Chain A
Amino acid sequence: MTSLTTFYLSRLLGCNIFDIRENILGRIHDVYIRMHTSSDDYQSGNPQVIGFAIHVNGKNKDAMLDNLQIVKFGIHYKVQCQSMTLVSHNMFSDAVLLKESILDQQIVDLNGRKLVRVNDIRMVTIAAGTFVVAVDVGTEGLLRRLGVSRFFKRILQPFGGNIPSKFILWDDVETIDPDTFNIQLSQTRSKLNTIHPSDLADIIEDMSKNYQTPIFSSLDEEHAADVLEELRVKEQVHIIESLPLGKAADVLEKMPANEAADLMDHLEEDKTEQLLLEMEPEASEEVRDLLEYPDGTIGSLMTSEILTFMAEQTVSDVIDQIRTEKPEMESLYSLFVVDEKNTLKGIITMRDLLIADLQAPLERVMNTNLNCVNDYDRLDAISGIVSKYNLLAVPVINEHDELEGMVVIDDLFDELLGKRRTS
Chain B
Amino acid sequence: MTVKKITNNKLLKKIGLFLAILGPGIITGSVDNDAGGITTYSVAGAMYGYNLIWTLIPSFLVLLVVQEMNARMGIVTGKGLATLIRENAGVKITFFIFLGLLLADIGNTTTEFAGVAGSLEVFGVSKYISVPLVGFIVWVLVVKGTYTVAERIFLIFSVSLLTYVVSALLGHPHWAEIGHSIVMPQVKADGSTIAMVLGLVGTTIAPWMQFYMQSSVIEKKLKISQYNYVMVDIIIGCIGTVIVAFFIMVACASTLHENHIVINEAKDAALALKPLAGAFASQLFAFGLFIASIFSATILPLATAFYVCEAFGFDAGISKKWGEAQEFYTLYTAIIIISVGIILLPNAPLIGISIWSQVINAILLPVVLICMILLVNNKKIMGRYVNKPIINLIGWATVAILIGLSLMLLVSSFIVK
Which A residues form the contact surface with B (CB < 8 A)? 104-106, 114, 116-119, 137, 142, 145-147, 208-211, 234, 238
Contact = CB atoms under 8 A, between A and B. Distances in A.
A105 B79 CA distance: 11
A119 B79 CA distance: 18
Interface stretch (B40-48, B85-93, B114-122): B85-93
Contacts of A147: 92
A105 B88 CA distance: 9
Contact of A208 (B79, B95, B313): B79
A58 B222 CA distance: 41
Nearest to A141: B91
A118 B87 CA distance: 10
B175 interface: no
Given A117-B313, A145-B92, A104 B77 contact: no
B312 interface: yes
B258 interface: no
Given A114-B315, A238-B221, A104 B91 contact: yes
Nearest to A137: B313
Interface of B: 77-79, 83, 86-87, 90-92, 95, 218, 221, 312-313, 315
Contacts of B87: 104-105
Most buried by A among B90, B92, B312: B90
Contacts of A118: 313
A116 B78 contact: no
Contact of B90 (A104, A209, A211, A238): A104
Contacts of B315: 114
A181 to B, nearest CB: 15
Nearest to A139: B312
A106 B91 CA distance: 14
Contacts of A146: 91-92, 95
Nearest to A234: B221
Nearest to A208: B78
A216 to B, nearest CB: 14
B218 A117 contact: no
Nearest to B89: A104
Given A114-B315, A117-B312, A145-B92, A209 B221 contact: yes
Most buried by B among A114, A117, A119, A145: A117
Given A208-B77, A210-B77, A210-B78, A119 B92 contact: no
Interface of A is mostly: mixed
Nearest to A114: B315
A413 to B, nearest CB: 19
A294 to B, nearest CB: 17
Contact of A104 (B79, B86, B218, B221): B86
Contacts of B221: 209, 234, 238
Contacts of B78: 208-211
A309 B86 CA distance: 61
A137 to B, nearest CB: 7
Contacts of A104: 86-87, 90-91
Contact of B91 (A119, A209, A234): A119
30 contacts: A104-B86, A104-B87, A104-B90, A104-B91, A106-B313, A114-B315, A116-B313, A117-B86, A117-B312, A117-B313, A119-B313, A142-B91, A142-B312, A145-B90, A145-B91, A145-B92, A146-B91, A146-B92, A147-B92, A208-B77, A208-B78, A208-B79, A208-B83, A208-B218, A209-B218, A209-B221, A210-B77, A210-B78, A234-B221, A238-B221
Contacts of A106: 313
Contacts of A238: 221
B239 to A, nearest CB: 29
Q: Which 9 A-B pairs have the closest CB atoms?
A: A117-B313, A208-B78, A209-B78, A145-B91, A208-B79, A210-B78, A104-B87, A234-B221, A104-B86
Nearest to B96: A146
Nearest to A105: B87
A145 B315 CA distance: 20
A63 B225 CA distance: 43
Contacts of B312: 117, 142
A364 B244 CA distance: 78
Contacts of B77: 208, 210
Contacts of A105: 87
B219 to A, nearest CB: 9
Contacts of A117: 86, 312-313
A319 to B, nearest CB: 43
B106 to A, nearest CB: 21
A137 B312 CA distance: 10
A238 B218 CA distance: 13
Contacts of A116: 313
B83 to A, nearest CB: 7
Given A104-B87, A146-B91, 20 more contacts: A104-B86, A104-B90, A104-B91, A106-B313, A117-B86, A117-B312, A117-B313, A118-B313, A119-B91, A119-B313, A137-B313, A142-B91, A145-B92, A146-B92, A208-B77, A208-B79, A208-B83, A209-B218, A209-B221, A210-B79
B29 to A, nearest CB: 24
A212 B95 CA distance: 28
Contacts of A114: 315
Nearest to B310: A117
A213 B221 CA distance: 13
Contacts of A142: 91, 312
A290 B122 CA distance: 60
Most buried by A among B78, B83, B90, B313: B313
Contacts of A211: 78
